Amino acid sequence: MADLIQIARSLFAPGKGILAADESVHSATARLASHGIPTSEEMRRQYRDLFLGAPGIEQYLSGVILFSETLLEKGNDHKLFPTSLSARGILPGIKVDLGTEPMSASLEELITQGLIDLPERLVKYKKQGAAFTKWRAVVRIDGDHLPTATAVHENAKRLASYVKEVQMAGLVPIVEPEVLLEGKHSRSRSRAVIETTLGTVFSVLEEHAVDRASVILKTSMALSGSESGKKDTPAEVAEDTIAALMQSVPRQVAGIVFLSGGQTTEQATDNLAAISQKAKEVHAPWPLTFSYARALQEEALTLWKGKEENVPAARAVYLARLAKVSAALG
């Protein structure tokens, strides 16, 4: 376990964070299509290369979460992506859940799939160079009616089984119970749901006697719902996010990373800065950093348009964004 703790801690190297480049084929297709970029396996490879092959990312990234397809692909430098990332001191990680499906007990809510053949897949991913893993559960807010306790608990149980398998395979687990931004809810409802969700996840992990010291939490920030008509200030987000985390996350975890979850690039950067500042003020016990997908990619995708001649300009805005997000850590 000592090795795992060290790997987990190295993801929190000062000024560095994680790029989530683990969109499934379905999500990557939708992401590219939303920028008018035609999609194919080769375009997805070029999309990955835009972000993973950019010179200088090692100054800001301690790790990258990959999708299984990318583990086996080569960048434009003709090296396998995990090999070239490792050579630059960036740890390759892998998304190991297989996505979500409606829960039979509550059809408006989702349960995450992927436990059945997980041990075999973990052995394979480790051989292919992965050092850490991610499992995403989804928690939807709808008034006081969702999430149901059953959905939160069932997802927490699967997260605990995932953590056990991953630690046994010698890999670091990131547990991601994402509380969605979509909805009309208030920021205080978001805070309460984050608190309950994380409280449930960590109590179920404890029941499963999981070693928490190598577990990384990936969480949403406490935000007013995207259809609430309310725009939170970074100070408000920081106040409620840190309060929820202090209430529900054991001090023993290796650290906490944030997802951007549909916030604009600027919001995700400014909110991270306020949260980092607040965490210092209250002497929060865990290191914090980012694990963003959309907030690190959007500006670059807008410029890239799937065209080789736009790669330098797209990479320049991506590097500039990485610098700003890194600076937000304080």
Question: Which active-site residues does the annotation give?
Answer: 176, 218
Q: Are 127 and 98 in contact (CB under 8 A)?
A: no
Question: In terms of CB distance, is 47 or 309 closer to ligand 13P?
Answer: 47
- The interface with ligand 13P within residues 255-274 (CB under 6 A) comprises 259-261
Does 71 bind ligand 13P (CB under 6 A)? Our answer is no
Does 68 bind ligand 13P (CB under 6 A)? Our answer is no
Site string for ligand 13P, 160-189 (x = CB under 6 A): ----------------x-x-----------
Question: In terms of CB distance, is 114 or 285 closer to ligand 13P?
Answer: 114
Question: In terms of CB distance, is 30 or 207 closer to ligand 13P?
Answer: 30
Residue whose token pair is 């993801």: 11
Q: Are 288 and 279 in contact (CB under 8 A)?
A: yes
Those residues with Cβ within 8 angstroms of residue 69's Cβ, 6 or more apart along the chain or in another chain: 25, 41, 44
- The interface with ligand 13P within residues 127-146 (CB under 6 A) comprises 136
Does 158 bind ligand 13P (CB under 6 A)? Our answer is no
* Least Cβ distance, residue 252 to ligand 13P (angstroms): 23
Does 321 bind ligand 13P (CB under 6 A)? Our answer is no
Segment interacting with ligand 13P (CB under 6 A) among 185-193, 194-202, 234-242, 286-294: 286-294
* Least Cβ distance, residue 180 to ligand 13P (angstroms): 10
Does 48 bind ligand 13P (CB under 6 A)? Our answer is no
Question: In terms of CB distance, is 6 or 34 closer to ligand 13P?
Answer: 34
Q: Are 50 and 94 in contact (CB under 8 A)?
A: no
Question: In terms of CB distance, is 54 or 295 closer to ligand 13P?
Answer: 295
Interface with ligand 13P (CB under 6 A): 20, 136, 176, 178, 259-261, 292-295
